Amino acid sequence: MTFEFIIVEPEYKKHIALIRLNRPDALNALNLQLMGELRDALKELDDNDEVRVIVLTGNEKAFAAGADIKQMADKNAIDMLKIDQFTTWDQIKKTKKPLIAAVSGFALGGGCELAMTCDMIVASESAKFGQPEIKIGVMPGAGGTQRLTKAMGKALAMEMILTGNFIDAEKALQHGLINRIAPVELYLDEAIKLATEIALQSPLATQMAKEAIVKSFDLGISEGVLFERKNYYLLFAGQDQKEGMNAFIEKRKPDFKGN
> Phi/psi at 64 (nearest 5 deg)?
-170, 135
Strands 6-13 and 120-124: unpaired
Residue from 27, 41, 56, 167 in contact with ligand CAA (CB under 6 A): 27
Query: Residue 172, interface with ligand CAA (CB under 6 A)?
Result: no
Residue 13's beta-bridge partner residues? 16
Residue 148 interacting with ligand CAA (CB under 6 A): no
Task: Answer yes or no: 110 catalytic.
Answer: yes
Q: Segment near ligand CAA (CB under 6 A), from 90-98, 137-145, 217-225, 247-255?
A: 137-145
Helix (H) or strand (E) holding 54: strand 53-57
Report the C-alpha gap between 259 and 250 in whole angstroms. 20
Span near ligand CAA by CB under 6 A; candidates 49-57, 109-117, 194-202, 233-241: 109-117
Which span sits near ligand CAA by CB under 6 A: 22-30, 42-50, 153-161, 189-197? 22-30
Q: What is the dihedral of CA 129, 134, 161, 86, to 10 degrees?
A: -80
Task: Tell me which of 21, 92, 102, 113 binds ligand CAA, using CB under 6 A.
Answer: 113
- Residue 120, amino acid: M
Which amino acid, residue 254?
Answer: P
Minimum separation from the CB atom of position 237 to ligand CAA (A):
39
DSSP 3-state of 136: helix
Catalytic residues: 67, 110, 113, 133
Which positions lie near ligand CAA, rule CB under 6 A?
26-27, 29, 65-70, 106, 108-110, 113, 132-133, 136, 140-142, 144
